[in-house]
Structure 1
Amino acid sequence: MTRAAPVPTSTDPAGFARYLRVAASLGRRRTGTGMRYEIVVAILWFGPAIVIGTWNDLNTSVSSNPPLDWPAAGLLLIAGAALIGLACITIGPVTASREWRAWVLSTPLDRGVLLRRRAVGLVALLVVPGVILGAVLADAAGVRHGPALAAVLLGIAAAISAGGVAMWQQRIRHAAAPRGRGWLWCVVVMAAAAIVVNLRHADPLTAGTLWTAAGTGVVIMLGLTSLGLSGVGLIPLASLAAGSGSVSSLALAVQDQSLAPLAAVLAIRPGHRPSGAVSRSLTGTGRRVVLAMDRRRLLRDRPALVRWFATALLPYGSWALLSGVGWGPAALVVVTFVSAVTAISALCGTVRQFASTPSLADRYGLDRAEARSAAMVIPQIGAVVWGVLTAPILLLHTPQFMAVLVPVTAFAAVAFRARQAPFQPGFVVGQQYSRDAARLFARGPALLIGGAVVLALIAAGLRQRNL
């Protein structure tokens, strides 16, 4: 027997929030949408093994010289916290559905009572990336045993502090204002500074210094978290809705394996200066006009070219931080593969349009398969050039075969994803699990994760055989 939701009263404003939570829970049970259930099961299933494995690694002695000194690790901690803050500011961080904005948050009730639970849930969720950030930096900096717990605690404090600052920014930011550029610049500057600082040797920190830094970080975390939670009720309705488009762009970027959908999130507001691009008409039909159109679009899309060149520098910058660690070559292969996917995907805008709109090929007098093939010429050239630019770092520090296998695998994954037709949802109400979750994972993230894992295993195997 299903119990009914408690009826709220005007004398208890918090009872209305409880009524909404119980009603939402009953709705999920009736429709079978168990997203929270799936998340809890995933955490309980995979969480203990990850935690035990991480602690066993941090509880052993350092086998070789750590790749990071403590100044570089501190700068990367700030960069990681800024990256977490960028993710928070992109999705909101506090969001509300369209129904809540129209029917609940527009009422005279205290908005803070209704949103504080969501904000606290966000703070609790930030513990996971904080643990990962602290554990990875502790491992890379050679911090082991008891001091490793201080490093993990410092990572948690940095992640939650970034979330508190992001909530405070959401309260004072206009909905139409650009989001995340300050966080992005902080990530770039801190990562570049870490690479430079890591070239010099620094004496390791003592355990007492690490625990003092962790205690200071916790105090700062409590202050920034209180600052963020105290103003949740002052977040404008438009700011609560601004993150919905960013979440959709983030999901589309993961599915398409491209940074292009995220370009609009971090882009500067358009000005009134006229465009300097020269207007030229396209003549003819067939493959030549498709190639001319795609080439002209690429030359006018300067942000895409900047992202393409920036991704070519990522393997070189990552090796400056990974040199000397045993799993560095495998990590370099993974970073290069992800960078290659991002770079090549930025050139596939035209082929995605032909795949999403099959009738578009008829306007050029081409067969639909032939139109997609013509639109893939520039991505093919971009993949070859990108592979040449990143070949030196792979030839020097990984098995030589990886210099060819990585760009070829990345191009195959991008070409397969870019040629696919638009996704057709197939969710059926009443099922415990959604069919769309597995299908969406297979279309995009599975290719990226599977390719990275396979390439890392191949690189590790070839390295053991001295090939």
Structure 2
Amino acid sequence: MPDRHAVTAAAVRRRLRTPEPWRFLVARLYSRIVLVSIAGAVGYGWAYAGLTKAPQAGSAWTALWLSVLGATVLMKVSLAFGPVFAGADRMFWVLSSPASRGALLRPRFFGLLAVGAAVGVVWPAVVFGVVGAVVPPLVAGVLGAACGLAVVAGAVVLQRARVRAQGWLSGLVGLAVVALVVPAGWFGVPVPWAGSVGVPADRPGELAGGVPADQPGSGGTAAGELGTFGGPAGEPGVIWAAWAVAIGLALVAAASVRHLRRSDLASGAALAGVTRVSVSWFDLALLGAILAERRARSLGRVKSARLNQGRSHVAALAWTDALRLRRTPSAALVWAALLPVPALVALGGEPDIAPAAHLVAAFLATDRLAAGLKFVCRSPAMRRALGLPDRQLRLAHLVFPAVGAVLWCAITTAFTPHVSVVNGIISAAGAVAVVYRIATRPPVDYGAAIVSFGMYGPTPAGLIVQLSRGPALLTVLGLVQTML
């Protein structure tokens, strides 16, 4: 006899599926194929450059901590969305229908597992583009798929257990950033596969550093001791262990899906809906507002701080901006996590674009410190309540972003190759200017005129001009950086 729950769950899914004309489906599929093709071509070029590049000293250490950083960020993003969530249209059926809750939620769960495995397969190509192929590509792809699967399944397990792991994950991100900035020798920790990095093609019997592979204490193996994947003999064991952990977590997560509550499924649905609307309407202010609300709820209660009445208005407002940054440590974490980005771009064999990458990373780091500036510029009611001129309010909330930009550029210029002091000065000033222009941008007017450019079809030229306030200046400054 067929399973009553499975049949009922399938019927509910058919009822929730919105009928759509085939023309819309074809148009949507065509746009996705174009985007995937462009991204695939760029990724193929990046991966090919990494596979043909000889790894340098310390490449294995960099690859290790880049992978740790990528897995941690994937875990944080997954936990922010749930990762399993149900929108308002599905929530009633999930909680109140006679269908099995697990049967209704498992299709989305399996889709998330597939996305995690795909991200894990693609991630080694990104790492290879930066440091070169430190391990065989097949081994990296298989291990990456297992890690991606384990990260998503582990996020579902944490969602069911209702464990707040964002603080621990933020600490792990900070550790990875420190490990990327500080050389491996300072820690005194050997990297397991570092012995096979940087071996010249005409001296296959030696490991990195010129030590023969068959001598005692070399830490390497001779050709007869290599595993089936072309690496050390322990690699197959590591692969089997990684897949065993991933499959075990996936089984536990699949069993945990049917125990998810309304509170577990609702928060991620709100964030997913706002993200979809923000991307569709080209307005990330909506996403920023919901993220600020989630951060405020996670804090729960904060200790009030008394402002010194003897201070000037600018100093008092700057101090409130400092309190805002202290209560949102994730902004400082992202600011620090962007420190090694320009150096990684230069290490990846792209010295010509390293100054432009330095400018973009400086902008992103400064933007994370400008929450107060954006809030004041986008809230007329708050500006009227403060009773100060708009220019004074903006300058007061620009103090800490400017200080953060100067400090970030000073630190990164000291250890980033192909980035001069002049590039650092331009990056600091340009990052502050771009952040200020984006924060003071007027609200988006969706009634702008649409102009037809022939083969490109109707284009909202007015909307493009509005959205280019800030990014256009960033593009011009990036071209200036590459020409210096």
Instruction: Say whether the fold is shared (TM-score over 0.5).
Output: yes
For residues 114-145 of structure 1, what are the alpha-carbon distances to aligned partners after superposition, in whole Å with 9 as ceiling and x for unaligned? Answer: 1111011111222443233211223334317x
Could you tell me the TM-score, scaled by structure 2's length?
0.71
Alignment of 1:294-443 (within 5 A): 294-303=317-326, 313-314=336-337, 316-318=339-341, 324-327=347-350, 330-331=353-354, 333-334=356-357, 337-350=360-373, 352-357=375-380, 359-363=381-385, 370-371=389-390, 373-392=391-410, 393-394=412-413, 397=417, 398-422=419-443
Where does residue 431 of structure 1 map in the other structure? none
Residues 146-205 of structure 1: CA distance to partner in whole angstroms, max 9, x if unpaired?
Answer: 9123213322222221001001111111xxx64522222222223323544634684226
**How far apart in 2 are the matches of 1:97 and 1:309?**
32
Distance 1:311 1:270, change over 3 A: closer
User: Are 1:133 and 2:123 matched, yes or no?
Assistant: yes
C-alpha contact 2:8 2:99 (8 A) present in aligned 1: no
Cα 1:58–1:149 change in 2 (3 A) is farther
User: Is the partner of 2:133 in helix, strand or coil?
Assistant: coil
Using the alignment, how far apart are the partners of 2:357 and 2:480 within structure 1? 11
Q: Which amino acid aligns with 2:78?
A: C
Q: What does residue 429 of structure 1 align with?
A: none
Q: Closer, same or farther in 2 for the Cα pair 1:101/1:451, shift >3 Å?
A: farther
Residues 75 and 194 in structure 1, CA contact (< 8 A), matched pair in contact too: yes
C-alpha separation in 2, matches of 1:237 and 1:441: 40
**Percent identity of the aligned residues?**
20
- Where 1:126 maps in the other structure, the secondary structure is helix
For 2:87 and 2:369, how far apart are their aligned partners in 1?
Answer: 31
Aligned equivalents of 1:17 and 1:442: distance in 2? Answer: 48
Mapping of residues 67-106 of structure 1, within 5 Å = 68-106=58-96
Give me the whole-angstrom Cα distance separating, in 1, the residues matched to 2:330 and 2:470. 18
In structure 2, C-alpha distance between the alignment counterparts of 1:197 and 1:351, rounded to whole Å: 37
Aligned pairs for 1:30-41 (under 5 A) are 37=29, 40-41=32-33
The answer to whether the 8 A contact 1:311-1:342 is kept is yes
Residue 389 of structure 1 aligns with an amino acid whose one-letter code is L
Query: Which residue of structure 1 aligns with residue 45 of structure 2?
Result: 53
Moved more, 342-351 or 127-136: 342-351
Q: 1:241 aligns with which of 247, 266, 283?
A: 266
Deviation for aligned residue 1:262 = 4.2
Which amino acid in 1 is paired with 2:436? A
Amino acid across the alignment from 1:108: P
Give the letter aligned to residue 53 of structure 1: G
Describe the SS at the equivalent of 2:136: helix
* Residue aligned with 2:284, SS: helix
Counterpart for residue 275 of structure 1? 303
Deviates more, 1:35-44 or 1:122-131: 35-44
Q: TM-score of the superposition, structure 1-length normalised? A: 0.73
| Distance of 1:268 and 1:348 partners within structure 2 | 17
Cα drift, residue 104 of structure 1: 3.9
Tell me the CA shift for residue 40 of structure 1. Answer: 3.3
Structure 1 unaligned segments of length 5 or more: list them: 1-9, 427-434
The superposition leaves residues 228-287 of structure 1 with CA deviations (integer Å, 9 ceiling, x where unpaired) of 223211111210012134447878798259988646646785577x8352266799xxxx
Matched residues in 1 for 2:323 and 2:263: separation?
32
Whole-angstrom CA distance in 2 between matches of 1:455 and 1:389 = 19
Q: 1:152 aligns with which of 141, 150, 170?
A: 141
Q: Residue deviations 1:23-72, cap 9 Å, x none?
A: 4544444996999647733554324423532443244242xx53643244
Q: Which amino acid in structure 1 is aligned with residue 168 of structure 2? A: G
Mapped partners of 1:15, 1:386: distance in 2: 58
Question: What one-letter code is carried by the residue in structure 2 that aligns with 1:243?
Answer: G
For the residue of structure 2 that corresponds to 1:301, the secondary structure is: helix
Distance 1:139 1:298 in 2: 39
Tell me the CA shift for residue 110 of structure 1.
0.6
Q: Which amino acid aligns with 2:45?
A: G
Cα distance in 2, alignment partners of residues 14 and 438 from structure 1 = 50
Q: Which amino acid aligns with 1:277?
A: A
Paired with 1:332 and 1:405, the residues of 2 have a C-alpha distance of 10
**CA 318–55 in structure 1, closer or farther in 2 if over 3 Å, else same:** closer
Aligned partner of 1:420: which letter?
R
What is the distance in 1 between the residues matched to 2:470 and 2:173? 23
Structure 1 residues 316 and 81, CA gap change in structure 2 (3 angstroms)? closer
Q: Give the aligned partner of residue 189 of structure 1.
A: 175
Cα distance between partner residues in 2 of 1:159 and 1:449: 33
- For 1:109, what is the secondary structure of its paired residue? coil
CA distance in 2, matches of 1:222, 1:442: 49
1:456/1:407 Cα in 2 relative to 1: closer, same or farther (>3 Å)? same
Give the whole-Å Cα distance in 2 for the aligned partners of 1:440 and 1:13.
49
Q: 1:365 to 1:455 in 2, by over 3 A?
A: closer
